[in-house]
Every structure is written in C-alpha cells, then in structure tokens.
Chains A and B, each alone.
Chain A
Amino acid sequence: MAQTSTVRYLDLIKNGIFKENTIFKLALSLCPSIAVTNNLRNGVLMGAAVLFVQVMVNITISLMRKIIHPRIRLPIFMLVISGWVTVTDLTMAAFAREAYKQMGLYIQLIVAFASILARAEMFASKNKVTPSMFDGIGMGLGFLFALTVISFFRELLGKGSLWSFPIIHAKPLLIMILPAGGFFAVGILMAFFNWMSMRHESKGR
C-alpha cells in the first residue's frame, strides 16, 4: 500500500511537469514566462515564487474543502490565493530587493494566474491534503522547469552569460533579451515540445 501511494505521488509530479505543463502544453499563465525570463536568475526566482504559492494554496484549499460552500467557492479561492501572493510579495520585497525591483509587479500578478485557480478548483478542492500538496509541487515544478528553460536560452543567446557569469565571448544576439525575443523563444520551444510529443505518438503506434 505504501508503495502504490508513492508511485501515485510520483505520477502527480510527473503529470505537472510533462503532461500538463502549464506553459508549453496548456498555454496558461504566459505573462511572466516572457516578462521575467530575460535572465536565468529572475526566471528561477519567479518559478520558485509560483511553486511556493501553488503548494500553499493547494494545501490551504484542501484543508478547508469541507467548510467552503460550493456557491461561493471562487471568491474564497481568490482570497486564499491573494493572501499567499501577498506573503510572497512582502517576503521578496524584504529579502531579494534587487530582483524585486525588476519583477515586483509580476509577483503581485501571480494572483491572476489561471493555472493556480484551476488547480485549486480541479484538484485541491476534491482531494486530501497530501495528494493536493504533491499536485501543487508537480505543477509548480513544471512551471519552474519551463521558466528555467526559457530564461536559460534567452540569457545564453542574448547576453552570452548564465546567472550573470560570462560564458560566450562572441557578440550576443541582442534580440533575445528584447521583448520580441521572449515571444520567439516561447514559440520555438512550444513547437519543439509539440514536435517531441508528435514523434512520441508516431513511435508508439
């Protein structure tokens, strides 16, 4: 029994990272995926913030699921989410000042993430605390993974550095750190993931 449940938790995490990856597969919560990913550090920080909010929201909703009246569930979910976002926002403002200056607005806008609300509605409000927590971890990790990949390529190509350590000394492709580059990066990565899953499917047949 113990073993089957660990397998299930692993499945939940995998589901969040690959099958239902928020950005590449569901195309939700796209705003920050482009806005903050012009360097790796911001991308990772943003991903971590979302991971934290997602897990905490899932746990809270799951704990409260018996006392929330179904008719007013959406406003309550929004309240819980904005509460946790405020916690993240104030924490980042206190401890990561430099990064916060650049991405403060986007941290506050985690509130409007469709993906967090969707997970609260679809999963956490119907499941026990532990699976909800793992579902949150999976979705959050998937998001973190997507942001890391995008910001990795954008910083490497756009500035020739990673985590602000210089790596390539050739003239960088300035366009990748411009807004336009973000759209290109996400578009091309999405196409790549589509291509992978298409290939996967045709092999399975």
Chain B
Amino acid sequence: MSIDSTKLFELVIAASLINNFVFTRFLGLCIFFGVSKKMETAVGMSITFTAVMMISAALSWLIFNYVMVPLEITFLKIIVFIGIVAGFVQASDTIMRKVSPGLYYKLGIYLALISTNCIILAVPLINAGEHYSFIESLAFAFGSGIGFALALVIMASIREKLELADVPAPFKGLPIAFVVTGLIALAFTGFSGLIKL
C-alpha cells in the first residue's frame, strides 16, 4: 500500500512540475494566454479546470475500460472522449445554473471555454495510452490540474506587472507574453530529472 501511495505522489509531482502541461507539453495554450491577464480570472479558471478535468478523466476511464475495450472499438477513442468532455461540460453548465446560480455566475464563463481546451482531452488520451489504473488516472488528472493552475497563477501575476512596463510596440500583447512564457519554461526545465518514473 505504501508503495502505491509513493507512486501516486510521484505521478502528481511529475504531472504538475516535471511534465507541466503548459511549459513542457505546450497544451492548453489558447486558454493559458486568454485568461492569464488578471489574477482573479486565473484563479477561477484553475478551480473550475481542475474539477472538470478530474471528473472527465474518471468518466472517460470508466467508459474506455468497461465499454470500449470489451467491444474492441478503442480506435474510436478520439470521437468518444470529445463527446464525453463536451457532454459533461454542457451538463454541468446546465446543472450549475439551476442548482447554484451564485457559483454559476462566478465560474460559468470558464466552463464554456474549457470544452475547447486541449488538456482536458489530452489527459484521457494519455491515460488510455499509458494504461493507468483508475486511481492513477485520477492522480494524473489532479496533478495536471494543479500544474495548469500553477502556470496560470504565475503568468497572471507577471502579466499584471507587464501592463505597466514599457514594451516595444510590435511586442505589445501576445508576443511579449510568449517570451515571458519561454523564460518560465526555461526555469521549469530545472525540474526535469527530479523523479525517475
């Protein structure tokens, strides 16, 4: 049991720091650059994102292993996973609006954005490709969510300062954000080799 929990811990660390989705796998960049302008939206997005990621990873794992593997239709995984994610996001959007309008008012807009995020789709695909067990899949999804949250918060705090900086005109906006991300990514390469999986 203790070996198991070490392995899970390693998975979380690996997914959040070493293979951070934004800085080393370059996924979810559209949202990353879209919502990292303000700290408040960054935090809201991170919370919604981690929750949706874990639930959709769990759903996809169950459907992949109990429906698609027995039926030998694993080649359809792209279509099925995107269906699950889009369906789940739509459903939680509707449920949230009815059950807790306050929460919906705060986090609802992020939900719509999430369904077009590559990370949300990449996590189930990687889980299926690596043959993770159910708990491992959840740990991986959680780590990825934390990693994305970390990236968003770091980036948001830098970009709030960047608003006041005197940037050369052609670099204004996205280009300078890219260069900054490059610098953070450089720092994150320092984590590689922290754990051998």
Taking Cβ atoms with an 8 Å cutoff, the residues of A that contact B are 27-32, 34-35, 75, 78-79, 82-83, 85-86, 89-90, 105, 108-109, 111-112, 114, 117, 175, 178-184, 186-188, 190-192, 194-195, 198
Residues in B whose Cβ lies below 8 Å from that of A192: 170
Q: Which of B167-197 contact A (CB under 8 A)?
A: 168-172, 174-179, 181-183, 185-186, 188-189
Residues in B whose Cβ lies below 8 Å from that of A105: 122, 125-126, 129
Q: Which of B136-186 contact A (CB under 8 A)?
A: 168-172, 174-179, 181-183, 185-186
Does residue B26 face the partner (Cβ distance < 8 Å to A)?
Answer: yes
Secondary structure call for the A interface? helix
The 7 closest A-B pairs by CB, nearest first: A187-B178, A183-B182, A195-B170, A191-B175, A30-B29, A180-B186, A194-B170
Question: Do B189 and A179 touch across chains, with their CB atoms under 8 A apart?
Answer: yes
Question: Do B118 and A109 touch across chains, with their CB atoms under 8 A apart?
Answer: yes
With contact pairs A86-B76, A86-B79, A178-B189 given, residues A34 and B179 touching in the complex (Cβ less than 8 Å): no
Question: Do B29 and A86 touch across chains, with their CB atoms under 8 A apart?
Answer: no
Select from chain B the residue with minimum beta-carbon distance to A34.
B26
Beyond A83-B79, A191-B171, list 14 extra A-B contacts (CB 8 Å).
A27-B33, A27-B174, A30-B29, A79-B79, A105-B122, A109-B27, A109-B125, A180-B186, A182-B26, A187-B175, A187-B177, A194-B172, A195-B170, A198-B170
Select from chain A the residue with minimum beta-carbon distance to B189.
A178
With contact pairs A31-B30, A191-B175 given, residues A112 and B82 touching in the complex (Cβ less than 8 Å): yes
Q: Which of A90, A181, A184 sits near B75, CB closer than 8 Å?
A: A90
Residues in A whose Cβ lies below 8 Å from that of B177: 187
Residues in B whose Cβ lies below 8 Å from that of A86: 75-76, 78-79
Residues in A whose Cβ lies below 8 Å from that of B83: 75, 78-79
Residues in A whose Cβ lies below 8 Å from that of B98: none
Question: Do B175 and A111 touch across chains, with their CB atoms under 8 A apart?
Answer: no
With contact pairs A78-B86, A86-B75 given, residues A112 and B171 touching in the complex (Cβ less than 8 Å): no
Q: Which of A75, A112, A114, A184 sits near B178, CB closer than 8 Å?
A: A184
Residue from B33, B76, B171, B189 with most neighbouring chain A CB atoms (10 Å): B171
Residues in A whose Cβ lies below 8 Å from that of B175: 187-188, 190-191, 194
How many residue-residue contacts, CB under 8 A, span A and B? Answer: 118
Q: Which of A32, A35, A108, A180 sits near B183, CB closer than 8 Å?
A: A180
Residues in B whose Cβ lies below 8 Å from that of A29: 30
Residues in B whose Cβ lies below 8 Å from that of A34: 26, 29
Select from chain B the residue with minimum beta-carbon distance to A109.
B118
Select from chain B the residue with minimum beta-carbon distance to A187.
B178
Q: Which of A89, A111, A178, A183 sits near B82, CB closer than 8 Å?
A: A111
Select from chain A the residue with minimum beta-carbon distance to B90.
A75
Select from chain A the residue with minimum beta-carbon distance to B169.
A198
Question: CA A31 – CA B34 in complex, angstroms?
Answer: 13
Question: CA A78 – CA B186 in complex, angstroms?
Answer: 35
- Closest Cβ of chain A to B139, distance in Å, is 19
Question: CA A75 – CA B182 in complex, angstroms?
Answer: 35
Residues in A whose Cβ lies below 8 Å from that of B125: 105, 108-109
Residue from B30, B82, B178 with most neighbouring chain A CB atoms (10 Å): B178
Question: Do B26 and A35 touch across chains, with their CB atoms under 8 A apart?
Answer: yes
Residues in A whose Cβ lies below 8 Å from that of B185: 178-180, 183
Residues in B whose Cβ lies below 8 Å from that of A183: 178-179, 181-182, 185
Does residue B48 face the partner (Cβ distance < 8 Å to A)?
Answer: no
Question: Do A82 and B179 touch across chains, with their CB atoms under 8 A apart?
Answer: no
Question: CA A111 – CA B80 in complex, angstroms?
Answer: 12
